[in-house]
Amino acid sequence: MNTGSARTPKLGVQAASKVYTTASGDLLALDRCSLDVHANEIVSIVGPSGCGKTTLLWSMSGLHRLTSGAILLDGKEVTGPRPEIGIVFQEANLLPWRNLDANINFPFEIKGEKPDRAWIAHLLHRVGLDGFGGKFPRELSGGMQQRAAIVRALALKPSVLLMDEPFGALDSFTREEMNRLVEEIWLDTKTTIVFITHSIEEAIFLSDRVVVLTARPGRVAKVYDVPFPRPRSLEIMATKEVFDLTNRIKMDIVGERRPKAQEQLEHKSAEIVRIRP
Protein backbone atom coordinates (compact mmCIF):
# COMPACT_ATOMS: atom_id res chain seq x y z
CA MET A 1 0.00 0.00 0.00
CA ASN A 2 2.75 2.42 0.92
CA THR A 3 4.33 3.09 -2.43
CA GLY A 4 6.61 5.93 -1.36
CA SER A 5 10.10 5.31 -0.07
CA ALA A 6 10.73 5.39 3.66
CA ARG A 7 11.78 9.01 3.36
CA THR A 8 8.59 10.23 1.65
CA PRO A 9 5.98 11.02 4.28
CA LYS A 10 2.44 9.77 3.64
CA LEU A 11 1.12 13.28 4.07
CA GLY A 12 3.44 16.26 4.02
CA VAL A 13 2.48 19.77 5.06
CA GLN A 14 5.02 22.26 3.77
CA ALA A 15 5.00 25.83 5.06
CA ALA A 16 1.22 25.93 4.83
CA SER A 17 -0.33 29.38 5.21
CA LYS A 18 -3.99 30.25 4.89
CA VAL A 19 -5.60 33.67 4.82
CA TYR A 20 -9.38 34.01 5.00
CA THR A 21 -10.92 37.08 3.47
CA THR A 22 -13.66 38.30 5.80
CA ALA A 23 -15.82 41.40 5.96
CA SER A 24 -13.60 42.80 8.73
CA GLY A 25 -10.37 42.26 6.81
CA ASP A 26 -7.95 39.45 6.16
CA LEU A 27 -7.53 36.77 8.78
CA LEU A 28 -4.31 34.77 8.95
CA ALA A 29 -5.45 31.35 10.21
CA LEU A 30 -2.33 29.30 9.46
CA ASP A 31 1.20 30.66 9.37
CA ARG A 32 3.86 28.51 7.68
CA CYS A 33 2.81 25.24 9.28
CA SER A 34 5.08 22.32 8.47
CA LEU A 35 4.42 18.75 9.46
CA ASP A 36 5.12 15.26 8.16
CA VAL A 37 2.72 12.41 8.78
CA HIS A 38 4.24 9.02 8.07
CA ALA A 39 2.42 5.99 6.76
CA ASN A 40 0.49 3.96 9.35
CA GLU A 41 0.92 6.66 11.94
CA ILE A 42 -1.67 8.35 14.13
CA VAL A 43 -0.89 12.03 14.61
CA SER A 44 -3.04 14.26 16.78
CA ILE A 45 -3.18 18.01 16.47
CA VAL A 46 -4.10 19.95 19.60
CA GLY A 47 -4.12 23.65 20.32
CA PRO A 48 -6.19 26.50 21.74
CA SER A 49 -9.59 26.88 20.15
CA GLY A 50 -9.65 28.95 17.00
CA CYS A 51 -5.98 28.20 16.30
CA GLY A 52 -6.61 26.88 12.82
CA LYS A 53 -6.76 23.14 13.53
CA THR A 54 -9.82 22.65 11.35
CA THR A 55 -8.34 24.93 8.67
CA LEU A 56 -5.22 22.78 8.62
CA LEU A 57 -7.28 19.60 8.31
CA TRP A 58 -9.54 20.98 5.59
CA SER A 59 -6.45 22.10 3.69
CA MET A 60 -4.93 18.62 4.07
CA SER A 61 -8.11 17.14 2.62
CA GLY A 62 -7.98 19.43 -0.41
CA LEU A 63 -11.28 21.11 0.56
CA HIS A 64 -9.49 24.42 1.09
CA ARG A 65 -6.73 25.86 -1.05
CA LEU A 66 -3.72 27.09 0.84
CA THR A 67 -2.73 30.71 0.35
CA SER A 68 0.87 29.55 0.19
CA GLY A 69 2.74 26.35 0.87
CA ALA A 70 1.77 22.85 -0.20
CA ILE A 71 0.15 19.61 0.94
CA LEU A 72 1.78 16.46 -0.46
CA LEU A 73 0.11 13.08 -0.49
CA ASP A 74 2.68 10.35 -1.25
CA GLY A 75 4.87 13.13 -2.62
CA LYS A 76 2.25 14.52 -4.98
CA GLU A 77 0.62 17.88 -4.38
CA VAL A 78 -3.00 17.84 -3.21
CA THR A 79 -4.98 20.47 -5.13
CA GLY A 80 -8.49 19.20 -4.52
CA PRO A 81 -10.41 16.42 -2.79
CA ARG A 82 -8.78 13.02 -3.28
CA PRO A 83 -10.38 9.57 -2.99
CA GLU A 84 -7.42 8.30 -0.93
CA ILE A 85 -8.32 10.78 1.81
CA GLY A 86 -11.34 10.07 4.03
CA ILE A 87 -12.77 12.67 6.37
CA VAL A 88 -14.74 12.30 9.58
CA PHE A 89 -16.38 15.63 10.35
CA GLN A 90 -17.44 17.31 13.58
CA GLU A 91 -20.83 16.15 14.85
CA ALA A 92 -21.02 13.22 12.41
CA ASN A 93 -22.39 15.36 9.55
CA LEU A 94 -24.80 12.66 8.38
CA LEU A 95 -27.50 13.68 5.90
CA PRO A 96 -30.71 13.75 7.96
CA TRP A 97 -33.00 12.87 5.04
CA ARG A 98 -31.17 9.58 4.39
CA ASN A 99 -31.20 6.47 6.51
CA LEU A 100 -27.91 4.90 7.61
CA ASP A 101 -27.53 2.66 4.57
CA ALA A 102 -28.23 5.55 2.21
CA ASN A 103 -25.80 7.75 4.13
CA ILE A 104 -23.04 5.17 3.79
CA ASN A 105 -23.86 4.72 0.10
CA PHE A 106 -23.60 8.47 -0.45
CA PRO A 107 -19.88 8.50 -1.41
CA PHE A 108 -20.45 5.69 -3.90
CA GLU A 109 -23.43 7.55 -5.42
CA ILE A 110 -21.28 10.65 -5.93
CA LYS A 111 -18.54 8.60 -7.55
CA GLY A 112 -20.98 6.50 -9.57
CA GLU A 113 -19.49 3.33 -8.17
CA LYS A 114 -21.12 0.20 -6.80
CA PRO A 115 -20.88 0.07 -3.01
CA ASP A 116 -18.65 -2.71 -1.66
CA ARG A 117 -21.41 -4.49 0.27
CA ALA A 118 -19.23 -7.05 2.05
CA TRP A 119 -16.75 -4.42 3.25
CA ILE A 120 -19.54 -2.12 4.47
CA ALA A 121 -21.22 -5.01 6.29
CA HIS A 122 -17.87 -5.84 7.90
CA LEU A 123 -17.38 -2.21 9.00
CA LEU A 124 -20.93 -1.93 10.33
CA HIS A 125 -20.37 -5.10 12.33
CA ARG A 126 -17.01 -3.77 13.53
CA VAL A 127 -18.57 -0.61 14.99
CA GLY A 128 -21.61 -2.47 16.32
CA LEU A 129 -24.22 -1.03 13.98
CA ASP A 130 -25.58 -4.27 12.49
CA GLY A 131 -29.28 -4.01 11.82
CA PHE A 132 -29.41 -0.21 12.07
CA GLY A 133 -29.24 0.37 8.31
CA GLY A 134 -32.88 1.48 8.05
CA LYS A 135 -32.66 3.98 10.90
CA PHE A 136 -32.50 7.72 10.32
CA PRO A 137 -29.81 9.84 12.00
CA ARG A 138 -32.32 11.47 14.34
CA GLU A 139 -33.19 8.02 15.70
CA LEU A 140 -29.56 7.35 16.71
CA SER A 141 -27.51 8.59 19.65
CA GLY A 142 -24.57 10.92 19.04
CA GLY A 143 -22.10 8.06 19.46
CA MET A 144 -23.95 5.88 16.98
CA GLN A 145 -24.11 8.73 14.47
CA GLN A 146 -20.36 9.20 14.74
CA ARG A 147 -19.82 5.42 14.30
CA ALA A 148 -21.87 5.61 11.11
CA ALA A 149 -19.78 8.59 9.97
CA ILE A 150 -16.61 6.54 10.54
CA VAL A 151 -18.05 3.69 8.48
CA ARG A 152 -18.94 6.15 5.72
CA ALA A 153 -15.39 7.54 5.74
CA LEU A 154 -13.79 4.07 5.69
CA ALA A 155 -16.18 2.62 3.10
CA LEU A 156 -14.03 3.89 0.22
CA LYS A 157 -10.90 2.35 1.82
CA PRO A 158 -8.94 5.59 2.13
CA SER A 159 -5.23 5.35 2.90
CA VAL A 160 -5.42 8.49 5.06
CA LEU A 161 -8.22 9.25 7.49
CA LEU A 162 -8.62 12.86 8.64
CA MET A 163 -10.72 13.24 11.77
CA ASP A 164 -11.87 16.74 12.73
CA GLU A 165 -12.76 16.81 16.45
CA PRO A 166 -15.06 13.86 15.80
CA PHE A 167 -15.99 13.17 19.40
CA GLY A 168 -16.08 16.73 20.74
CA ALA A 169 -19.85 16.70 21.19
CA LEU A 170 -19.99 13.33 22.96
CA ASP A 171 -20.09 12.67 26.70
CA SER A 172 -16.81 11.49 28.21
CA PHE A 173 -17.79 7.80 28.54
CA THR A 174 -18.97 7.58 24.95
CA ARG A 175 -15.85 9.44 23.92
CA GLU A 176 -13.56 6.89 25.62
CA GLU A 177 -15.50 4.09 23.97
CA MET A 178 -15.09 5.77 20.59
CA ASN A 179 -11.36 6.24 21.22
CA ARG A 180 -10.98 2.51 21.84
CA LEU A 181 -12.94 1.87 18.66
CA VAL A 182 -10.61 4.09 16.63
CA GLU A 183 -7.62 2.27 18.12
CA GLU A 184 -9.15 -1.12 17.24
CA ILE A 185 -9.88 -0.01 13.69
CA TRP A 186 -6.35 1.31 13.38
CA LEU A 187 -4.90 -1.99 14.68
CA ASP A 188 -7.02 -3.72 12.00
CA THR A 189 -6.34 -1.48 9.03
CA LYS A 190 -3.22 0.53 9.95
CA THR A 191 -4.80 3.48 8.14
CA THR A 192 -2.79 6.67 8.56
CA ILE A 193 -4.85 8.95 10.80
CA VAL A 194 -4.66 12.67 11.47
CA PHE A 195 -6.81 13.43 14.48
CA ILE A 196 -7.84 16.89 15.61
CA THR A 197 -9.01 17.28 19.15
CA HIS A 198 -9.09 19.69 22.06
CA SER A 199 -8.76 16.82 24.53
CA ILE A 200 -5.14 16.15 25.47
CA GLU A 201 -6.09 12.80 27.05
CA GLU A 202 -7.72 11.73 23.80
CA ALA A 203 -4.67 12.85 21.81
CA ILE A 204 -2.25 10.89 24.02
CA PHE A 205 -4.42 7.78 24.09
CA LEU A 206 -4.66 7.61 20.31
CA SER A 207 -1.49 9.05 18.89
CA ASP A 208 2.05 8.14 18.00
CA ARG A 209 2.80 11.84 17.96
CA VAL A 210 0.99 14.87 19.33
CA VAL A 211 1.44 18.18 17.50
CA VAL A 212 0.75 21.35 19.47
CA LEU A 213 -0.31 24.39 17.46
CA THR A 214 0.07 27.96 18.65
CA ALA A 215 -2.85 30.34 19.06
CA ARG A 216 -3.92 32.13 15.89
CA PRO A 217 -2.17 32.30 13.56
CA GLY A 218 -1.57 28.57 13.86
CA ARG A 219 2.06 27.47 13.81
CA VAL A 220 3.58 24.19 14.95
CA ALA A 221 4.75 24.95 18.50
CA LYS A 222 5.94 21.50 19.56
CA VAL A 223 5.75 17.85 18.60
CA TYR A 224 5.67 15.15 21.29
CA ASP A 225 6.35 11.46 20.76
CA VAL A 226 3.95 9.16 22.56
CA PRO A 227 5.94 5.94 23.00
CA PHE A 228 3.41 3.83 24.93
CA PRO A 229 2.65 0.34 23.58
CA ARG A 230 -0.71 -0.58 22.01
CA PRO A 231 -3.41 -1.47 22.71
CA ARG A 232 -3.26 1.19 25.38
CA SER A 233 -4.95 -0.02 28.52
CA LEU A 234 -6.50 2.05 31.27
CA GLU A 235 -3.49 1.09 33.42
CA ILE A 236 -1.03 2.64 30.99
CA MET A 237 -3.16 5.72 30.75
CA ALA A 238 -2.99 6.06 34.54
CA THR A 239 0.83 5.98 34.77
CA LYS A 240 2.97 8.90 35.85
CA GLU A 241 4.55 9.14 32.39
CA VAL A 242 1.18 9.79 30.79
CA PHE A 243 0.28 12.23 33.54
CA ASP A 244 3.54 14.15 33.07
CA LEU A 245 3.13 14.26 29.29
CA THR A 246 -0.44 15.50 29.66
CA ASN A 247 0.74 18.29 31.91
CA ARG A 248 3.59 19.30 29.64
CA ILE A 249 1.23 19.60 26.69
CA LYS A 250 -1.28 21.47 28.83
CA MET A 251 1.42 23.92 29.88
CA ASP A 252 2.32 24.47 26.24
CA ILE A 253 -1.24 25.30 25.33
CA VAL A 254 -1.85 27.45 28.38
CA GLY A 255 1.55 29.08 27.83
CA GLU A 256 0.21 30.24 24.52
CA ARG A 257 -2.11 32.52 26.41
CA ARG A 258 0.44 33.33 29.10
CA PRO A 259 1.17 37.01 28.46
CA LYS A 260 -2.28 38.08 29.61
CA ALA A 261 -2.79 35.42 32.27
CA GLN A 262 0.67 36.01 33.73
CA GLU A 263 0.03 39.73 33.88
CA GLN A 264 -3.19 39.22 35.80
CA LEU A 265 -1.51 36.76 38.14
CA GLU A 266 1.38 39.12 38.90
CA HIS A 267 -1.04 41.97 39.43
CA LYS A 268 -2.96 39.89 41.94
CA SER A 269 0.05 38.62 43.87
CA ALA A 270 1.32 42.18 44.11
CA GLU A 271 -1.91 43.17 45.73
CA ILE A 272 -1.68 40.33 48.19
CA VAL A 273 1.86 41.32 49.09
CA ARG A 274 0.72 44.85 49.81
CA ILE A 275 -2.08 43.71 52.08
CA ARG A 276 -0.04 41.30 54.15
CA PRO A 277 2.28 43.50 56.21
Query: Which of 14, 32, 72, 106 is close enough to bind other proteins by CB under 8 A?
Result: 106
Query: Which of 4, 27, 32, 232 is close enough to bind other proteins by CB under 8 A?
Result: 27
Residue 21 near other proteins by CB under 8 A = yes
108-127 residues near other proteins, rule: CB under 8 A: 109-111
Q: Give the burial class of 239: count Cβ atoms within 10 A of its Cβ; 0-12 exposed, 13-18 middle, 19 or more buried.
A: exposed
Number of residues near other proteins (by CB under 8 A): 38
Residue 105 near other proteins by CB under 8 A = no
Residue 199 near other proteins by CB under 8 A = no
Residue 25 near other proteins by CB under 8 A = no
Distance in Å, CB of 139 to other proteins, minimum: 10
Residue 15 near other proteins by CB under 8 A = no
Query: Which of 114, 138, 240, 276 is close enough to bind other proteins by CB under 8 A?
Result: 138
Query: Which of 8, 14, 67, 199 is close enough to bind other proteins by CB under 8 A?
Result: 67
Residue 29 near other proteins by CB under 8 A = yes
Binding site for other proteins (CB under 8 A): 18-22, 27, 29, 54-55, 58, 61-67, 80-81, 83, 85, 87, 89-91, 93, 95-97, 106-107, 109-111, 136-138, 156
